[in-house]
Chain A
């Protein structure tokens, strides 16, 4: 099976702009989780989508949002970019079982630089 893919791989934006990142999960996986990775804060959970619904959310401001399509592909959007949003954004897919203790498989990430 093909792994998790993310596009674009690199992105440069300026403060105040908005950005949309895309994630395609492993075929058959219905859950997509997003994480922000920075040197100072490590891997921080943003949100999780399952069957087009957000079912879990981390402690990030409302500028961070996401959605999931019927084919399980997911996008996340960051509006009004700030310098501190510069990070590696990772998505991870899993089958979506509720109580399974699920294995999450990560994509290569999108590196966002905000100038």
Chain B
């Protein structure tokens, strides 16, 4: 079945460093890859997404890259700040019975120390 693997499960960085989270998906038909940030006590919040016809997308300090051949996509956060500390989830959109649903990775807990 469809599967999304996410690494690392935890990531500790110093403020100002960069952070990279990587995901691998199994279904070659996947065409949409969002990233969500979840803070304690809140629901996941979309921070950036990318579609299969694009290789890279950037939004200020956040960027996402997609390698369709290798079925890899990654989240890059530059100049990290303490408020970036949260759990980050990647997801892939899977076409199932003619309709799309999101399959999520297992999450990465990012801790940014001042």
Q: Is A42 positioned at the interface, with any CB of B under 8 Å from its CB?
A: yes
Q: Is A45 positioned at the interface, with any CB of B under 8 Å from its CB?
A: yes
Residues of B contacting A50 with CB < 8 Å? 99
Instruction: Report which of A55, A90, A100, A103 forms a contact with B43, defined as CB distance below 8 A.
Output: A90
User: Given A42-B107, A43-B104, does the pair A105, B46 have CB atoms closer than 8 Å?
Assistant: yes
- Asked if B49 and A90 make an inter-chain contact with CB atoms under 8 angstroms apart, the answer reads no
- Asked if A56 and B96 make an inter-chain contact with CB atoms under 8 angstroms apart, the answer reads yes
Interface size class of B (residues with CB under 8 A): 20 to 34
Name the residue on B nearest A91 (C-beta).
B43
Main secondary structure on B side of the interface with A: strand
**What number of A residues sit within 8 Å (CB to CB) of B?**
24
- Asked if B34 and A106 make an inter-chain contact with CB atoms under 8 angstroms apart, the answer reads no
B residues at A contact (CB < 8 Å): 31-32, 34, 36, 41-46, 49, 51-52, 89, 93, 96-107
Q: Is A84 positioned at the interface, with any CB of B under 8 Å from its CB?
A: no
- Asked if A42 and B104 make an inter-chain contact with CB atoms under 8 angstroms apart, the answer reads yes
- Asked if A102 and B97 make an inter-chain contact with CB atoms under 8 angstroms apart, the answer reads no
Within 8 A of B (CB), among A1-36: 4, 33, 35
User: Given A42-B107, A106-B45, does the pair A33, B101 have CB atoms closer than 8 Å?
Assistant: yes
